[in-house]
Amino acid sequence: MRDAYIVTSVRTPGCKRIKGAFSETRPEDLISFILDAAVKKTPALEKKEVEDIMVGCAFPEAEQGMNIGRVAALMAGFPVEVTGATINRFCSSGLEAIVQASLRVMAGWSEVTIGAGVESMTYVPLGGHMPRPHPEWTREHADLYTSMGITAENVARRYDVSRADQDAFAAQSQMRAAKARKEGLFAELVPTPAVRYVLQDSGTYQKETVLQKVDDGIRDNTTVEGLAKLNPAFAAGGTVTAGNSSQTTDGAAATVIMSREKVDALGLTPVARLKCYTTVGCQPDEMGVGPKYAIPKVLKMAGVDIADVGLFEINEAFASQALHCIRALGLENDMDKININGGAIALGHPLGCTGAKLAATLLANMKRKGVRYGVESMCIGGGMGAAALFELC
C-alpha cells in the first residue's frame, strides 16, 4: 500500500455560535471558501487534478444537507467531474474525512484528494433540528442518547476529576490560545469572508462581507477565580460549566492529500504523512473516555512508543474528559506537548469540522517545532474514540 502525503492543511477561524462573526455566514460558504483556499495554497495544483472531496459534517441537514461535500465542491469552482461525499462520525467526522480521502490515495485509486470538515452550529444546532430517538430502544438503552454534558459529569464523578482541576485546565486553554493569537502562531488559519446583514434606513437589509482574521471565542481575561463563580450547566450540584466545556462554534477546514508520485510531479514538499488511524468503542454514558483507549491502540498498531510522540491534539470536548484521558495515559507531566495553542474550550468545537481543524493545527505545530510524530484524538458522541498518528516529512 502506498503512502498518503499531506501537502496543505488549513482552516477558517472558529467563531461563536449565534453571537460570533460567522452567525450569518452559511456553512456552504465556509467550506467552499476553505476548499478553494487549500488548492490556492498548494503550488502548481489545479482543481481539475483533485479526484474526490470528503467533507465531515456531524449534522448534515438543512443548510448542511443535500450532500454538502458535492455542493461545496461545485460552489468552490471545482470541475463537475470532481466528486464529493459527506462523512459523519460525529466529533471525528473531519478526521474521518481526511482518513477516507487518504485511503483512496493509499489504495492507488486516486492521486489527489481532499479531506475536509464543516459545521455551522448557528444554522444547525447540536442534536439537529428534529432528533427522533427510537422509542423501544431508548427504554432499554437511554445511555446512547445521553446529553454530552451529563456524560462529562459522569466522567468527572467516576474518575475523580475535581471542579478546581477542570477550571484550572480551562483557564490554561484560554491563556494558551490567547498567547498563540497574540504571537501569530496559528499559521494554519486563513482569514475568511464573514457575511453580515445590516439594517438600512429604508428598513431593508444590506448584505455586507468583512474578512474575519481571528478565532473570536478566545477569552484572554479568563481567570480560575472567575470560572469558579459559574454555575453547573448540566446537573444540580455538578462540576461541568459553560466555562470548562467546549464552545459551540462555526467553522471549516481542509487538507490536500497526494501520492508520492504526484508530489514529485508537481515539485512539492509534503508536510507529513498519515501513518495510522483507528477508532474504538466505549460506554455511551461516558463517551469522553474514548481517547484513553484510541491513543494506545493507534500507537501499538504503528509500533510507536507514546514517549516518542512530540505533540498531541486531544480535543477538549470537556475539561473533565480531557483531563481524565491525559491522566490515564500517564501524560500529566507532559502538558507542554498537549494542545499547546489551546483547545476547544477556548477555540471551539465545530463538531464535523473539529477533526479537520485539529489536523491543520497539529501539522502546523509539528512543522514549526520539527516534531517527528504527532497524535490527534477525540471522544465521539455515542461512545467512541478516534486517534490518528502523523509523521513529519
Q: Show which residues are catalytic.
A: 91, 349, 379
Cβ(270)–Cβ(2) below 8 Å: no
Cβ(363)–Cβ(6) below 8 Å: yes
Return the number of other C-beta atoms located less than 10 Å from residue 162's C-beta: 12
Q: Give me the DSSP letters along 164-180.
A: HHHHHHHHHHHHHHHHH
Q: Which residue spans within the chain are E strands per DSSP?
A: 5-11, 15-16, 52-56, 83-87, 112-120, 192-199, 205-212, 249-258, 272-281, 311-314, 373-380, 384-392
First to last CA, the chain: 18
Cβ(270)–Cβ(258) below 8 Å: yes
Q: Rounded to an integer, what distance in angstroms lies between the CA atom of residue 259 and that of residue 215?
A: 32
Give 285's DSSP letter: G
Cβ(387)–Cβ(99) below 8 Å: no
Q: Count of alpha carbons within 13 Å of 232, Cβ hemisphere only?
A: 16
Q: Count of alpha carbons within 13 Å of 228, Cβ hemisphere only?
A: 7
